[in-house]
């Protein structure tokens, strides 16, 4: 979801900057020609974002245009550019990448935040939790493990216990009566390894699978944030509207030895 939000923000900023239509390629999220189901599902509709789909014709125009060296129809891959400012000047083509840099859309931050938050919907159980969050100095703590532990995903780091311990201590020294709301895809690990932190803790373990997006919504209403090296928690903090928020994030988000290796990406 975090990756998709970056792609949406990139596309929405392009629409606003160049006054041009943007079509989104959903192909990655469906059945591929060989019948293999994609590992990720399309999630942005959960925020009420109705994004126009790129047709097969539009998808292949970029590939054909690149081969014929046509400026109006070409493939633009994020990895081939050194600066967001270069990308921001281009307004036609088939864009491939995650576009995980706020520089691509920061000048439209208010509009993009508003369009995403406008689609926020919570069920009754999460609404009750939100009421509690809004009454305290809530701090979101995101612990990402899950697929990061898989040997094939070894370019992403899992944050050690002491990172969270130090982050909790830092925020506890800066604000009064903090309440730490833990969000994780491995809550058992959290309860085992962070149970001894001297802080008031709430474990948010009611949202799973297709309801996981509600965790991101709840995180965005917290007043302060402790991030994992995850775009999911990055967006939880970015969508937070509190002006005086404290955000603590890891220094390293990827295994530096593997960070430059190519990874699969989806098109926009």
Note the pLDDT of residue 70: 60
Q: Strand pairing partners for 248? A: 226
Length of the chain: 268
Question: At a CB cut-off of 8 Å and minimum separation 6, what does 107 contact?
Answer: 13, 17
Q: Shortest CA distance to 178 belongs to which of 215, 222, 143?
A: 222
Cβ within 8 Å of residue 118, ≥6 positions away? 47, 48
pLDDT < 70: residue spans in the chain: 30-39, 57-73, 146-157, 254-268
Query: Quick one: which H or E segment has residue 248?
Result: strand 247-248
Q: What is the token pair recorded at 126?
A: 């999460």
Residues 217 and 19: their CA atoms lie apart, in Å, by 29
User: Token pair of 53, please?
Assistant: 């789909």
Alpha carbon distance 77, 87 (integer Å): 10
pLDDT of residue 54: 85
- pLDDT of 41: 81
Whether domain 123-248 has CATH 3.40.50.11350: yes
Distance CA 207, CA 188 (A): 14
pLDDT in tens, 43-72: 999 999 989 988 776 666 656 665 665 656
Q: What is the pLDDT of residue 36?
A: 38
Residue 26: its pLDDT value, please?
84
* 3-state secondary structure (DSSP) of residue 230: coil
Task: Determine the Cα–Cα distance for residues 79 and 156; give it in Å rounded to an integer.
Answer: 18
Per-residue model confidence as pLDDT tens digits over 162-180:
999 999 999 999 999 999 9
| Phi/psi-derived region of residue 13, left when phi > 0, alpha when psi is between -120 and 50, beta in every other case | alpha
Contacts of 41 (CB under 8 A, 6+ apart): 29, 210
Residue with tokens 């939880």: 236
The per-residue pLDDT for 201 is 95
Boundaries of every domain in the chain: 2-115, 123-248
pLDDT at 198: 82
């Amino acid at each position: 979801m975090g990756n998709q939000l970056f792609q949406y923000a990139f596309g929405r900023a392009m629409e606003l900057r160049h006054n041009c239509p943007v079509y989104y390629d959903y192909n990655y999220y469906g059945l591929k020609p060989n019948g293999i189901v994609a590992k990720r599902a399309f999630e942005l509709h959960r925020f009420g974002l109705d994004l126009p789909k790129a047709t097969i014709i539009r998808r292949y125009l970029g590939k054909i245009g690149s081969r014929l060296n046509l400026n109006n129809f070409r493939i633009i891959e994020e990895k081939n550019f050194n600066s967001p400012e270069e990308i921001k000047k281009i307004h036609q083509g088939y864009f491939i990448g995650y576009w995980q840099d706020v520089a691509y859309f920061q000048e439209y931050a208010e509009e993009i935040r508003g369009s995403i938050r406008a689609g926020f919907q919570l069920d009754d159980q999460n609404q009750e939790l939100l009421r509690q969050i809004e009454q305290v100095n809530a701090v979101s703590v995101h612990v990402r493990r899950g697929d990061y532990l898989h040997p094939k995903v070894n370019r992403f780091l899992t944050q050690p216990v002491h990172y969270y311990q130090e982050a909790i201590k830092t925020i506890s020294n800066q604000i009064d009566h903090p309440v730490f709301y833990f969000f994780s895809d491995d809550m058992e690990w959290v309860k085992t390894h962070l149970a001894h932190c001297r802080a008031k803790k709430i474990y948010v373990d009611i949202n799973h699978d297709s309801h996981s997006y509600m965790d991101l919504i709840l995180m965005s209403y917290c007043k302060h944030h402790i991030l994992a090296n995850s775009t999911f928690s990055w967006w939880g903090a970015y969508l937070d509207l509190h002006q005086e928020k404290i955000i603590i994030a890891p220094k390293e988000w990827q295994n530096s030895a593997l960070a430059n290796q190519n990874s699969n990406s989806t098109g926009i």
